């Protein structure tokens, strides 16, 4: 990826799938590139319309997905098969799969059912499929070092859907935006669609204001509705002076993390375990204890917590509420990590997600996800190691 190039989504008027496509294309990506890449997905009977429009005096790109035949609503397994059967890059496949899985999980929570039983409406519609896959195709073309987004405006009122009138934001949208900074922009109507919420929560590494840097390009993607303000999604390509830099090559991916440390000598083992649960619930990237000796030869534990900058306040709140400490040390550090993608494999016991680590596009690590393996080991009453080995064996068969 291009060094220090940041892609920023300014969602002042919300976000939807078609707005994402328009805003990214408006940065100068050829429309033919998008249509050529989408032809690698086994879907036909549709046409994409690219329009130059104005919204309250602001020029923008409008993208319409026109279906030639009757709308077909697909379930998550159908969409997974479409993605798997395509000839898109592994990154586009994985990001698309993650976004659709998030949508399915959100709908399942709202309808109090499981992902396997959920029936898609918007999610399985053809335009949403094109919007999601197309967005990741265009982001891959730009190859940003980092993706950021503004806080998300919620809108107000009601929206009509398959289930009748629902409050804005739609329940599935709220589920998808859990943990994301939002604001109450006082405009009636739906500003954020479930598709838009799934895209931005999958893409964005961080939600914050526009960072310091040099703006290279600005794009505008038009929404369908008209408001008193310009209903557009704005994208910015920024040469970021604050983007993480690595001192040595090769450098897979660099970012900044906050390291919080404190020492504890007066909490029980049960209380220490409870504290870790609260820290992970506050979105700690990692946290662990190390045994140490303090003054007067007291045995104690040194707690180390890694978190993102935006999660630091919640982490500190959890630390002070659920531990006996009176203070903590905070250091910002550079973190170097392998580029990662996720891939599903089907073992004799069931599906397992693999985490693949790449160094300069070379695969150097393959790790089955523990939770999947543990669940299948318990379900089939087999050793955990057997499920791990089966997952790795299936990957080796590719």
What is the side-by-side strand order in the sheet with 299-307? 286-293, 299-307, 253-264, 329-337
Q: Does residue 5 have a pLDDT over 60?
A: yes
Q: How many other C-beta atoms can be found within 10 angstroms of the C-beta atom of residue 331?
A: 9
Residues 330 and 355 in one domain: no
The CATH number given to whatever domain includes residue 304 is: 3.30.70.1380
| C-alpha–C-alpha distance, residues 289 and 196, integer Å | 39
At 41, is the secondary structure helix, strand, or coil? Answer: coil
Q: Please check whether residue 341 is in contact with residue 94, taking contact to mean a CB–CB distance below 8 angstroms.
A: yes
Residue 248 lies in a domain: no
Q: Return the pLDDT at 122.
A: 46
Task: Choose the weakest-confidence range: 3-17, 108-122, 220-234, 316-330.
Answer: 108-122
Whether 329 and 262 have beta carbons less than 8 Å apart is answered as yes
Q: CB under 8 Å to 350, separation ≥6 — which residues? A: 372, 376, 379
Q: Is the pLDDT of residue 3 over 50?
A: no
Percent of the chain with pLDDT over 70: 90
Residues 85, 149 share a domain: yes
User: Are residues 25 and 133 both part of a single domain?
Assistant: yes
Report d(CA 360, CA 363) in Å as an integer: 8
Residue 192 forms part of a structural domain: yes
The whole-number pLDDT of residue 118 equals: 67
Residue with tokens 């906050």: 258
| 155, 34: one domain | yes
Would you say residue 373 lies in a domain? yes
Predicted local confidence at residue 163, as pLDDT: 63
Instruction: Evaluate whether residue 113 is within a structural domain.
Output: yes
Per residue in 30-78, pLDDT tens? 999 999 999 999 988 899 999 999 999 999 999 999 987 766 667 888 8
Q: Are residues 360 and 319 in the same domain?
A: no
Count up the domains in the chain and report the number: 3
pLDDT at position 30 is 96
Among 17-26, 84-93, 152-161, top mean pLDDT goes to 17-26
Q: Which two tokens mark 20?
A: 């994402």
| CA angle at 252 for the pair 3 and 9, rounded to the nearest 5° | 50
Does residue 169 have a cis bond before it (omega within 30 degrees)? yes
The verdict on residue 184 lying in a domain is yes
Q: Give the distance from CA 99 to its chain's centroid.
A: 7
Q: Which residue has the tokens 């045994």?
A: 291
Per-residue pLDDT band at 116 (split at 50, 70, 90): low
Write down the pLDDT at residue 8.
97
Q: Do residues 328 and 227 both lie within one domain?
A: no
Model pLDDT, residue 138 = 98
Q: Reduce the DSSP state of residue 320 to 3 states and report it.
A: helix
Q: Residue 322's CB: how many other CB atoms inside 10 A?
A: 18
| Residue 160 pLDDT greater than 90, yes or no | no
* CATH code assigned at 377: 3.10.20.300
Give me the pLDDT at residue 120, please: 58
Instruction: Give the pTM.
Output: 0.61
Dihedral sign computed on CA atoms, order 235, 236, 237, 243 = negative
Per-residue pLDDT tens for 236-257?
Answer: 999 864 444 444 444 457 778 8
* Assigned domain for 388 exists: yes
The residue out of 289, 322, 337 marking a domain boundary is 337
Asked if residue 245 is part of any domain, the answer here is: no
Q: Could you tell me which residues are beta bridge partners of residue 54?
A: 59
The values of phi and psi at residue 179, to 5°, are 85, 0
Q: What is the pLDDT of residues 68-97, one digit of tens each?
A: 776 666 788 888 899 999 999 999 999 999
Both 320 and 356 in one domain: the answer is no
User: How far is residue 44's CA from residue 39's CA, in Å, rounded to a whole number?
Assistant: 8
In a domain, 325, yes or no: yes
Domain that holds residue 259: 253-337
Same domain, yes or no: 102 and 9: yes
With a cut of 90, say whether residue 219 has pLDDT above it: yes
pLDDT, mean of residues 379-397: 91
Q: Give the domain-ending residue among 213, 240, 267.
A: 240
Same domain? 196 vs 231? yes
pLDDT of residue 360: 77
Is the pLDDT at 339 greater than 90, yes or no?
Answer: no
Domain shared by 15 and 111, yes or no: yes
Residues 383 and 295 in one domain: no
Across the range 21-35, mean pLDDT stands at 97
Distance CA 180, CA 136 (A): 20
Same domain, 139 and 228: yes
Least confident span in 37-46, 78-87, 131-140, 161-170 = 161-170
pLDDT, residue 359, reads: 85
Residue 2 has pLDDT above 50, yes or no: no
DSSP characters over 139-204: HHHH--SEEEE--EE--BSEEEETTEEEESSPHHHHHHTTTS-EE----BB--B-HHHHHHHHHH-
Instruction: Count CB atoms within 10 A of the CB of residue 61.
Output: 24
């Amino acid at each position: 990826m291009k060094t220090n190039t940041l892609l920023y989504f300014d969602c002042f008027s919300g976000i939807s799938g078609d707005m994402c496509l328009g805003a990214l294309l408006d940065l100068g990506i050829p429309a033919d590139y998008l249509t050529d890449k989408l032809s690698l997905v086994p879907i036909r009977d549709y046409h994409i319309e690219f329009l130059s429009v104005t919204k309250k005096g602001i020029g923008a790109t409008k993208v319409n997905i026109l279906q030639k035949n009757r709308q077909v609503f697909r379930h998550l397994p159908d969409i997974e098969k479409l993605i798997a059967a395509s000839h898109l890059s592994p990154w586009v496949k994985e990001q698309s799969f993650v976004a659709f899985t998030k949508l399915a999980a959100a709908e399942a929570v709202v309808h109090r059912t499981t992902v396997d039983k959920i029936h898609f409406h918007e999610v399985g519609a053809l335009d949403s499929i094109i919007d999601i896959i197309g967005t990741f195709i265009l982001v891959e073309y730009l190859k940003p070092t980092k993706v950021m987004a503004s806080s998300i405006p919620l809108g107000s009122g009601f929206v009509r859907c398959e289930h009748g009138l629902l409050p804005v934001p739609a329940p599935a949208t709220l589920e998808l935006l859990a943990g994301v900074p939002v604001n109450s922009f006082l405009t009636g109507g739906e500003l954020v669609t479930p598709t838009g919420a799934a895209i931005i929560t999958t893409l964005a590494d961080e939600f914050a204001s526009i960072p310091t840097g040099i703006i290279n390009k600005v794009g505008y993607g038009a929404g369908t509705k008209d408001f008193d303000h310009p209903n557009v999604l704005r994208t910015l390509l920024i040469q970021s002076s604050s983007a993480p830099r690595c001192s040595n090559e090769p450098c897979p991916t660099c970012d900044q993390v906050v390291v919080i440390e404190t020492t504890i000598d007066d909490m029980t083992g049960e209380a220490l375990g409870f504290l870790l649960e609260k820290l992970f619930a506050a979105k700690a990237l990692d946290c662990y204890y190390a045994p140490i000796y303090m003054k007067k030869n007291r045995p104690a534990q040194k707690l180390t917590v890694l978190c993102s900058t935006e999660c630091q306040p919640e982490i500190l709140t959890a630390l002070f509420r659920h531990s006996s400490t009176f203070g903590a040390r905070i250091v910002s550090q550079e973190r170097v990590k392998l580029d990662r993608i996720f891939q599903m494999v089907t073992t004799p016991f069931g599906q397992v997600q693999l985490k693949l680590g790449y160094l300069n596009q070379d695969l150097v690590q393959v790790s089955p996800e523990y939770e999947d393996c543990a669940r299948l080991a318990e379900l089939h009453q087999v050793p955990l190691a057997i499920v791990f080995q089966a997952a790795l064996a299936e990957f080796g068969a590719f």
